[in-house]
Chain A
Amino acid sequence: MATAVEDRADDRQSPLSDAVVVRFAGDSGDGMQLTGGQFTLSSALAGNDFATFPDFPAEIRAPQGTLFGVSAFQINFGSSAIETAGDAPDVLVAMNPAALKTNVLQLKQGGLIIADEGEFNDRNLAKAKYDANPLDDGSLAKWQLLKLNISQLTMDAVKPFGLGNKEALRCKNMWTLGLALWMFDRDRQPLIDWLEAKFAKDPNLAAANVAALNAGHAYGETAELAGPLKQHHVDPAPVAPGLYRTLTGAEGIALGLVAGAQLAKLPMFFGGYPITPASAILHHLSRLKEYDVTTFQAEDEIAAICSAIGASYGGSLGVTSSSGPGIALKGEAMGLAIMTELPLVIVNSQRGGPSTGLPTKTEQSDLYQAVYGRNGDAPMPVIAARSPGDAFECAIEAVRIAVQYMTPVMLLTDGYIANAAEPWAVPDLAAYEAFPVQFLTEAPENGFKPYSRDEKLKRPWVKPGTPGLLHRIGGIEKEVGTGHINYEASNHQAMTDIRKAKIDGIKVPDQIVELGAGGGKLAVVGWGSTFGPIHQAVRRKRAEGKDVSHVHIRHIWPLPANLGGLLRNYDRVIVPEMNTGQLKTVLRDQYLVDARPVNKVSGQPFTIAEIEAAIEEALA
């Protein structure tokens, strides 16, 4: 979460107790996301900074025990600023053979495996395609291995509650969480309160889960195991006093959109169509009716954006949201919003592509689509969020630009930001400057022209229902000023120039340098969710005395006015992206700088080590 700009002491040699990466992995039915979420809360309460990475299959209920059915949740927590979910885990909790197989190779050498040996039976080993039991054959020798029969220990712990076998085994995740809480010296009480509230309707089930949690904790406390299991205390990270909450990117977008609509003094209309990983935004907003939010689940992606444009035409803030494939379907309607100059916010929660691609995995490969992906000369502002908390700010910024310039705006986030949680200092809304919309309600003295413009080249916003300002709009080329249909060559040239000039003229803040100097040997330029790994990598290299700076671009289009000059101040520029080099192309095109690509498209975020290696190579 932290966006500190000062260099820190070298945290490369962090002992285990300074920052720890734990990955919980199990079957999709084992409740790993829940376990991870609750462990996250306990980290927050322990005062640690953290970042999380949920990694789950696209299938809703994948067959039990299979490799593709593994669901994992990784958390990186520590006593200094944490900006990524961590590279290699220090601890892997593997609830079955498939979870071990799919995750163990990423575990740090010498890292700790906690495996539920009760699940390592012949059937599960076969499903995970193990010829021999890895817990016994020595193949895990480079790690520390702790075999526990978590299944049996859980069954024993919940025996007094008379649950069925299946229900009893469902408490496994709480047993595991209890052990993890002990390992990191965490308070159990908030979790016990949470369980009692969650199962308020079934006190017996609540008590069984609490018993499992306590049993896991007690196991760590009393087993006195020699070897790997020992308690670690991670000191609180120094954070500013204030109120904090956990925030996912989807929540950040939803809340930011509501805040933006309030600052613009507009009702919001959200037209959406279910798609992974964007649906969470629709879900959040559909519960916020009292904020003057209307949500509409349309029949398809096209209807979702068209209804939003219709609502904007009617005087609401129209918003639509999707992921790559859905954004592709919305392309023609975006062109209409550009042509009719109506405000609109389009949120793209990017995922792996092309086509259906990797629905639950993350990628940044829709930048071309956002900047260039429409027919005709169709300029549109594009903003990219770097983190869940930043998504809140970016959503407000998108609304501001949309209404102040009468234009659709694309807001880019991605699957990683959408699902990941981070601690968020709850902002004081009073600190945000309102930008109330002024609708045109009367004809000006010199007569009403729907395509007249102010100093920002913005045309007036007139709500149907306003007497005296009747007019027609549409997708056919408009006559300058009047907005009447006009096919003349000179008029099309003029209107194309105006549309371009309006977007080019949008005032965006100057680009700052996140870390390092405003010039030097190397700039690492990023955008979106690569912020964390880039920032940490640059910090580590600077701590080693390397001349490297981090520049992170929020305004992808139009780009900050000072960016070209800034980039020319560095001998070299590298651009790490989770695509094959899209921002790199834009920067080369706009500034003729020799921006070099650093690319990764594995569906997984960059690790810090990967960025560090790229920095080393660029400086070599």
Chain B
Amino acid sequence: MNEMTTIAKSTPKDWETDQEVRWCPGCGDYAILKAVQRTMPEIGTAPENTVFISGIGCSSRFPYYMETYGFHTIHGRAPAFATGLKLANPNLDIWIVTGDGDGLSIGGNHTMHLIRRNLDCQIMLFNNEIYGLTKGQYSPTSRVGTTSPSTPYGSVDRPAQPAAFALGAGARFVARGFDVSKELPNVLKAAHAHKGAAFIEIFQNCIVYNKDVFEDFAAPKGAEDRQLWLKHGEPMLFAKGTKGIALDNEELHLKVVDVVDGDWQSAGVIVHDVTNRSVAHMLVEMRFGEFPMALGVLYDDPRPTFETDVVRQNKAAAEGKTADLQSLLKKGQTWTVTESGPEL
């Protein structure tokens, strides 16, 4: 996020490029693109101060479709480019677009370090639990047993959990949404309002290689029973207020409780506090099925950002010193040679 200068209000159209969008018809990426283009006018940032940076994969084509500055880099490394760019110009508003393979497999290391350093940027990780661009191999977020060209007998390794990974890496902002959700722009706005590395896991439907893998919670029918939209200061209720999330005080884990006649207090339902890191750790680990899918802003508690601290230290170290390179060259062990010989 950045300090904003007021500019004439733009429209979503202003954020579209003239480039032909090249995702498969019906891909969840279209919905995410629309959501981002709808969000941008509302957050009031200027297109010329906005940079979308991506790695490699279907999601990483994103920058070509945003009328901003954009850099489609190499596989997994978008966070590293973003770090150099932000340090070179801390005023830029940087959005990283990555996927489950790009951001958690080949680029997992950079994702971790970007988050722990807390570089001010938004990281949108499109999670479709599959490698789309390379034609359907299982990914680090694929569920055990996923059959794919590279795992014809089903995958045996256990999947990474993006939100838990981010929180474990030290994230100060973790949110979840999904491609066709109407709430997605609000999640993006909250991420942008957070000063620091804002990690957003966006479930995205790959209609070719992993169709409807999120239907169990994303399908509109019965959604209220399967989705828990978290709002700061509000009780964690779902199923039209008839169920809630409470803490099992003896076992110290979360549990689903029934709420009778709206009396969530006596059912022990937790009020969502986005700054509660302990609860955030439990929310990101909450298994869908036994629990609803936790969506929205799971955690948001800013800390000083990397680029701010770097700039501050650079300034402090340079304080009172003059950048006189000629005198720097003369530093150290020097001597002068005159006609009569050398002297100190």
Contacts and interface: CB of A to CB of B under 8 A. Distances in A.
A427 B329 contact: yes
Given A45-B342, A429-B326, A472-B70, A269 B88 contact: yes
Contacts of B266: none
Contacts of A484: 19
B89 interface: yes
Contact of B330 (A190, A245, A307): A245
B267 to A, nearest CB: 45
A240 B318 CA distance: 35
A426 interface: yes
Given A290-B318, A291-B323, A426-B330, A470 B68 contact: yes
Contacts of B332: 245-246
A290 B322 contact: yes
Nearest to A304: B80
Given A314-B92, A426-B329, A474-B63, A294 B337 contact: no
Interface string A466-489: 111111111110000000110000
A472 B17 contact: yes
A564 interface: no
Interface in A304-318: 304, 306-316, 318
A464 B109 CA distance: 26
Grouping DSSP codes into helix (H, G, I), strand (E, B) and loop, the A interface class, with mixed when no group exceeds half, is mixed
A307 B46 CA distance: 24
B74 A318 contact: no
Interface string A393-437: 000000000000000000000000000000000111100000000
Interface stretch (B47-55, B178-186, B192-200, B226-234): B47-55
Contact of B71 (A46, A47, A258, A473): A473
Interface in B28-48: 46-48
Given A190-B344, A236-B341, A302 B317 contact: no
Interface in A220-247: 236, 239-246
B82 interface: yes
A567 B184 CA distance: 67
Given A296-B84, A463-B89, A475-B72, A306 B329 contact: no
A241 B325 contact: no
B91 A465 contact: yes
Contacts of B321: 290
Contacts of A255: 325, 328-329
B83 interface: yes
B209 interface: no
B88 A315 contact: yes
A292 interface: yes
A243 B336 CA distance: 4
A254 to B, nearest CB: 10
A267 interface: yes
A43 B336 CA distance: 13
Given A269-B88, A464-B69, A303 B83 contact: yes
A436 to B, nearest CB: 15
Interface string B59-86: 0000110111111111101011111111
Contacts of B84: 269, 271, 296, 306-314, 316, 318
Contacts of A470: 47-48, 67-69
B153 interface: no
A308 B80 CA distance: 9
A259 interface: yes
A310 B334 contact: no
Contact of B72 (A44, A307, A314, A476): A476
Interface centre among B53, B314, B333, B344 (most CB of A within 10 A): B333
A300 interface: yes
B109 A299 contact: yes
Contacts of B92: 314, 464-465
Interface in B174-212: none
A318 B87 CA distance: 11
Contacts of B51: 464
Given A471-B69, A473-B72, A476-B72, A290 B334 contact: no
Given A299-B110, A303-B83, A41 B88 contact: no
A306 B80 contact: yes
A258 B329 CA distance: 11
A37 B219 CA distance: 73
Contacts of A259: 325
B87 A307 contact: yes
Interface centre among B19, B48, B68, B87 (most CB of A within 10 A): B87
A245 B64 contact: no
A569 interface: no
A51 to B, nearest CB: 16
Nearest to B334: A245
Nearest to B320: A290
A475 B323 contact: no
Nearest to B70: A472
Contacts of A306: 73-74, 77, 80-81, 84, 110
Contact of A314 (B75, B88, B338): B88
Interface centre among A240, A299, A335 (most CB of B within 10 A): A299
A612 interface: no
A429 B88 CA distance: 26
B13 interface: no
B77 A429 contact: no
A506 interface: no
A358 B286 CA distance: 50
A262 B329 CA distance: 14
Contacts of A429: 325-326, 329
Contact of B85 (A242, A267, A313, A427): A313
Given A313-B81, A470-B67, 14 more contacts: A46-B342, A239-B337, A258-B328, A289-B317, A291-B328, A303-B109, A309-B73, A310-B85, A332-B75, A467-B48, A473-B70, A473-B72, A474-B70, A475-B73
Q: What 10 A-B pairs have minimum CB-CB distances, sorted nearest first?
A: A474-B72, A310-B84, A314-B88, A307-B84, A306-B80, A472-B70, A310-B81, A290-B318, A303-B80, A311-B84
